[in-house]
Amino acid sequence: MLGQHRGMTDQRVRAELRQRVYGTKDLGQLDVFGGGFINFGYWRDLPVDGEISLETRVASQRALYGLVLDELAVGGGDRVLEVGCGHGVGTRLALGRDAALVRGVDLAPEQVERARAGGDHDRLEFRQGDAAALPFADDAFDALLSVEAAQHFEDPRGFAAEAFRVLAPGGRLALAAFLAHGPDRTAELSGLLRTYADGLDLAHDVDAVAAHLADAGFERVAVRSIGEHVWPAFDRWLEQLGDREPWERNWIAANERGLLDYHLITANVPGEAGSQE
């Protein structure tokens, strides 16, 4: 068991840890990820019965973005924002949906620089910023996505309010992340997973996150589990990599115990697209 007391780290310590993991060390360079993405992947319809290739692993991460962009129905003329953009590889996929403009924001300045290093595009821009204090004007976007970042948010209520503020009437939100089942899971998750024990991840309750969105003014807030297309194949990938720390194989155990799951949350801003209500 990991030391459960370590899950009670204060915000300053957590901020320093995230800076080391995403800034100084660059989590995206680990072999568990690939292709510049940093997510567990969405493995539906991918070949995972035999040995999983690196190409398949990268495809799983791209597919998670595809799922979110499909849910948002991103298309021509849309102004799109990703919160927690990392290297910006997933953010750039919105350009292929013919979005009018695409913006990515990340808390780590180093990640923003890595995203910018991926190449210029006249419709694309990356900025440093906090999910609860987005550096954009009111009604600036039509679609907002966040992929595997919400588990790091220090203030999910603040994120909900900011997402509502920067989305125009009729705007759409889609969030994909692993979130806790229940409001008091920190100790249990800390006992299984070092990222919770250290404070890198926070045990946000999925129902609370959905409630924050509704309280902020979003309508049609919907939560869907996609864990069946995440946990088994991701665990097989970890097993295939070998030489892992024992706790790393506990993600699927945490899910099987009902402590967390991978969710897709969608919501809409009232009004019609293009209106100024």
- 9 domain-assigned: yes
- 273 domain-assigned: no
Predicted local distance difference test score (pLDDT) of residue 274: 63
- What's the domain count of the chain? 1
- 32 domain-assigned: yes
- 35 domain-assigned: yes
- 165 domain-assigned: yes
Predicted local distance difference test score (pLDDT) of residue 62: 97
Domain that holds residue 83: 4-268
Domain containing residue 163: CATH number: 3.40.50.150
- 116 domain-assigned: yes
- 159 domain-assigned: yes
pTM listed for this prediction:
0.93
Predicted local distance difference test score (pLDDT) of residue 18: 87
Q: Write the DSSP string, the chain.
A: ---GGGGG--HHHHHHHHIIIIIIS-GGGSTTSBTTB-S----TTS--SSPPPHHHHHHHHHHHHHHHHHHHT--TT-EEEEES-TTSHHHHHGGGGT-SEEEEEES-HHHHHHHHTT---TTEEEEE-BTTB-SS-TT-EEEEEEES-GGG-S-HHHHHHHHHHHEEEEEEEEEEEEEESSS--HHHHHHH-HHHHTTSS---BHHHHHHHHHHHT-EEEEEEE-GGGTHHHHHHHHHHH----GGGGGHHHHHHTTSEEEEEEEEE-SS-TT---
For residues 16 and 209, give the distance between their C-alpha atoms in angstroms, rounded to a whole number. Answer: 24
Predicted local distance difference test score (pLDDT) of residue 22: 85
Predicted local distance difference test score (pLDDT) of residue 243: 84
Residue ranges for the chain with pLDDT beneath 70: 1-8, 274-277
- 276 domain-assigned: no
Predicted local distance difference test score (pLDDT) of residue 241: 94
Residues 6 or more apart in contact with residue 117 via CB below 8 angstroms: none
